[in-house]
Amino acid sequence: MTALLAGASGLIGRELARQWDGPGLLHLLVRRPLEIRGVAAPLQRVHLLDFAALPALPRAVEAYCCLGTTIKAAGSQAAFRAVDFDAVLAFARAAQSAGVQRFAVVSALGASPRSPGFYNRVKGEMEEALAGLGFASLVIARPSLLAGDRSALGQPARPGERLALALTAPLAPLIPKTWRPIAAATVARALRRALADGRPGVRIVESAELQDLGT
């Protein structure tokens, strides 16, 4: 059950690595050194690499893609697309060449290739491109607003996100699950359970179902 994980430095990727309990190895593919506390060292291997020029990856049966940024953090729409589309597709193709048949990716609520918004349109185009690769099982997660400690990852603060979480926290039970903020740890658990289910074809898991799967 060897698996690949791209994006271990982010909120969901970090939680997925923390939760990993085997039975096989989890290969963490990162652009810079990282430390994930609470992970059993014998169950993980860290590989420093460039997603714009990926080498042959270790043989694996499943893969998780938690790559992602924001337009503000990336600096431009082109730089954002280079991560959220190009790097994701490059990882998926490399994973496929390494024997992966089950692939899970983190997208976004409202993703659509026909979205008028650039962010959700790129996410939708990424989903569409992945679906065309022919994985035996493809899980696409569309979480709502993520809750988690970004400062612990050394990531820049996101004032808008922090404000939205503070405003919605008291009202969470009243907000429909689809729109309710969701913990990164919940998304990570849901990803693993959805992929382990082995449902053939493309499975889109909206935020409400992620809440149920990851609880």
Q: What is the CATH number of the domain that holds 38?
A: 3.40.50.720
H-run or E-run covering 94: helix 88-97
Which of 19-33, 49-63, 141-155, 169-183 shows the highest mean pLDDT?
49-63
- Band (9; pLDDT cuts 50, 70, 90): confident
Q: What is the pLDDT of residue 27?
A: 95
pLDDT at 57 over 90: yes
Q: Provide the number of structural domains found in the chain.
A: 1
96 phi/psi in degrees, rounded to 5: -60, -40
Burial 107-136 (b: 16+ CB within 10 A, else e): bbbbbeeebeeebbbbbbbbbeebeeeebe
Which residues form the domain of 195?
3-213
Q: Please give the model's pTM, rounded to 2 decimal places.
A: 0.88
Cis-peptide into 159, omega within 30 deg? no
Beta bridge partners of 147: 183
Percentage of residues in the chain with pLDDT exceeding 70?
83
Q: What is the pLDDT of residue 31?
A: 86
pLDDT at 210 over 70: yes
pLDDT at 153 over 60: no
Burial class of residue 67 in the structure, from the number of CB atoms within 10 Å of its CB (0-12 exposed, 13-18 middle, 19+ buried): buried
Q: What is the pLDDT of residues 96-146, one digit of tens each?
A: 999 999 999 999 999 999 999 999 999 999 999 999 999 999 999 999 988
- Band (22; pLDDT cuts 50, 70, 90): confident
Mean pLDDT across the stretch 81-100? 98
